[in-house]
Amino acid sequence: MMPGPARRAAPGAARVSCPHTCSRNLPVLLRPALSLLMLAVAPAAWAAPLDLAALVECRQDVAAHAALTAIVADPLKAVANGLQPLPQQNRFMSEFRLAAPLTVFGRQAEYLAVAGASIMAVLDEADPRPLASELKLETAYDADGKFMAGRELVSRDVTDPATGEAQIESIILSVSTVQSHPGRTLAGCTYSLDLPAEDEQPEAAPAAGD
Structure confidence at residue 160 (pLDDT)? 82
With a cut of 60, say whether residue 7 has pLDDT above it: no
- Range 30-58 average pLDDT: 60
Per residue in 148-174, pLDDT (tens digit) is 999 999 999 998 878 889 999 999 999
User: Band of the pLDDT at 5, cuts 50, 70, 90?
Assistant: low
pLDDT in tens, 96-112: 999 999 999 999 999 99
Predicted pLDDT at 48:
62
- Say whether pLDDT at 37 is over 80: no
Domain regions of the chain by residue span: 52-199
Q: In the structure, what pLDDT confidence band is assigned to residue 59 with cuts at 50, 70 and 90? A: very high
SS (H, E, C) the chain: CCCCCCCCCCCCCCCCCCCCCHHHHCCCCHHHHHHHHHHHHHHHHHCCCCCHHHHHCCCCCHHHHHHHHHHHCCHHHHHHCCEEECCCCECCEEEEEEEEEEEECCEEEEEEEEECCEEEEEECCCCCHHHHHHCCCEEEEEECCEEEEEEEEEEEEEECCCCCCEEEEEEEEEEECCCCCCCCEEEEEEEEEECCCHHHCCCCCCCCCC
If you average pLDDT over every residue of the chain, what do you get?
Answer: 81
Higher-confidence residue: 122 or 7?
A: 122
